Amino acid sequence: MALYVQKFGGTSVGSVERIKAVAEKVKTFRNQGHQVVVVVSAMSGETNRLIQLASEINDDPTPREMDMLVSTGEQVTISLLAMALQKTGVPATSYTGAQVGILTDSAHTKARIQRIETDELRQDLDNGKVVVVAGFQGVDDDGNITTLGRGGSDTTGVALAAALNADECQIYTDVDGVYTTDPRVCSRARRLDSITVEEMLEMASSGSKVLQIRAVEFAGKYKVPLRVLSSFAEGQGTLIVADDQEDERNMEEPLISGIAFNTNEAKLTVLNTPDVPGVASKILGPIADANIEVDMIVQNVAPAGDYTDFTFTVSKADYRQTKRILEESIVPSLGGGEVRGDDQIAKVSLVGVGMRSHAGVASRMFRVLADEGINIRMVSTSEIKISVVIDEKFMELAVRALHTAFGLDREDVNEET
């Protein structure tokens, strides 16, 4: 007998029929003798509906009232799922975040979990009940309802699994696992049986949307075995293993686990910056002050002269504002220079713990791209990731070429473009 925490997202509970399907899936596990805690999100579309209502009333409501409002979304789902389970003959009880005792700080709309009371849950489980918990929400010390921010239901699932010392936290989504890259871009993409937490984090921060970064971090920190699988199809999904378990994986695994990419960023370059200490902070300080997040940063080593080029990327949404800040205040105060920007770029990242022990991944990556005639605009590396910025129009070509070159293609797919 195992204890599973199963989390179902908004699409998986998006209609009466899908809620019934989730109940059947949970029932199957329970009938195999397992204990099950289910965490659910709001039905898809519901959170947006509520936010829309609020926006028609007040364009700047207090975060406390926003949390009061949107937390109703999950409360609807937990009661409906408990009813669906009861209908199939499975005893079930639902709990809001506050009821289950998911205690958070008071940072409304982005609260962090501080501790979870599990006594009542355990008692219900020991009495043969399935427990249904509202994801995404908690309660602070003063009894105010808080939310963990968008996607926080994954975090609720992992945190509950950690608190209950569950055997596995299963995240059911609309994809059947983690892929070597996005199958919509590369038809030869392959589902991974497993991936390490570290790789998953790099994949997520590089554009793969399967899991919330916070949930993966949480799973890594508390050593919660985490599995991503499909709500709609059978299959084993992808197991996300703690980093120290990586050795157990097949030695024949390729160097690279996956290729992530995104086109959400724009690149800005300040040309001819004086190459003196403090320049980077002079450039980035006012940008951080404007609450603009910077992703990649590259500063070329100054050649003979005293000037250098400073390049960084920001979210496309922040592109115009960043350019204005650079042109109007930063560059003049640095004494001249020129700002160049490009928002037609893509970032493509190779991710894999195998890189640690194998040299030459970067040079092989650059050669593959060169062979396809793709110019590299920026490079940044971490211990298990290499990211390049290229022209947006080459993105699909780059992903497919790298996917094949690094041995990630499915074996059962014939050559296609």
Look at residues 188, 177, 186, 203 and name the one whose alpha carbon lies nearest to residue 351.
203
Identify which of residues 54 and 297 has a Cβ nearer to its own copies in the complex: 54
**Spatial distance between the Cα atoms of 68 and 256, rounded to a whole number of angstroms:** 44
**Spatial distance between the Cα atoms of 411 and 417, rounded to a whole number of angstroms:** 15
Residues 6+ apart with CB under 8 A from 118: 101, 163, 164
From candidates 40, 69, 163, 390, binder to its own copies by CB under 8 A: 69
CA dihedral (113, 214, 42, 126) positive or negative: negative
Q: Which stretch binds its own copies (CB under 8 A): 52-60, 196-204, 282-290, 407-415?
A: 52-60
Residue list, annotated binding site for substrate: 47, 74
**Tokens describing residue 267:** 């690149």
Identify which of residues 80 and 401 has a Cβ nearer to its own copies in the complex: 80
Residue list, annotated binding site for ATP: 7-10, 173-174, 179, 184, 209-210
**Spatial distance between the Cα atoms of 13 and 258, rounded to a whole number of angstroms:** 29
From candidates 21, 29, 51, 64, binder to its own copies by CB under 8 A: 64
E strand or H helix at 258: strand 258-262
Kindly provide the b/e burial profile for residues 204-227, where b requires at least 16 CB atoms within 10 angstroms of the residue's own CB. Answer: bbbbbebbbbbbbbbbbeeebbbb
20 binds its own copies (CB under 8 A): yes
Give 104's strand partners: 113
58 binds its own copies (CB under 8 A): yes
Q: How far is CA 78 from CA 39, 71, 82, 143, 160, in A?
A: 8, 11, 6, 20, 16
80 binds its own copies (CB under 8 A): yes
21 binds its own copies (CB under 8 A): no
In whole angstroms, the minimum distance from the beta carbon of 11 to its own copies comes to 17
The footprint of its own copies on this chain (CB under 8 A) covers a number of residues equal to 36
Interaction mask 81-120, its own copies, x per CB under 8 A: -xxx-xx-----xx-x-xx---------------------
In whole angstroms, the minimum distance from the beta carbon of 169 to its own copies comes to 24
In whole angstroms, the minimum distance from the beta carbon of 161 to its own copies comes to 23
SS3 string, 36-69, reads EEEEECCCCCHHHHHHHHHHHHCCCCCHHHHHHH
Site residues for its own copies, window 259-318 (CB under 8 A)?
A: none
Identify which of residues 18 and 30 has a Cβ nearer to its own copies in the complex: 18
Q: Where does this chain bind its own copies (CB under 8 A)? A: 16, 19-20, 50, 53-54, 56-58, 61-62, 64-66, 68-69, 71-72, 75-76, 78-80, 82-84, 86-87, 93-94, 96, 98-99, 143-145
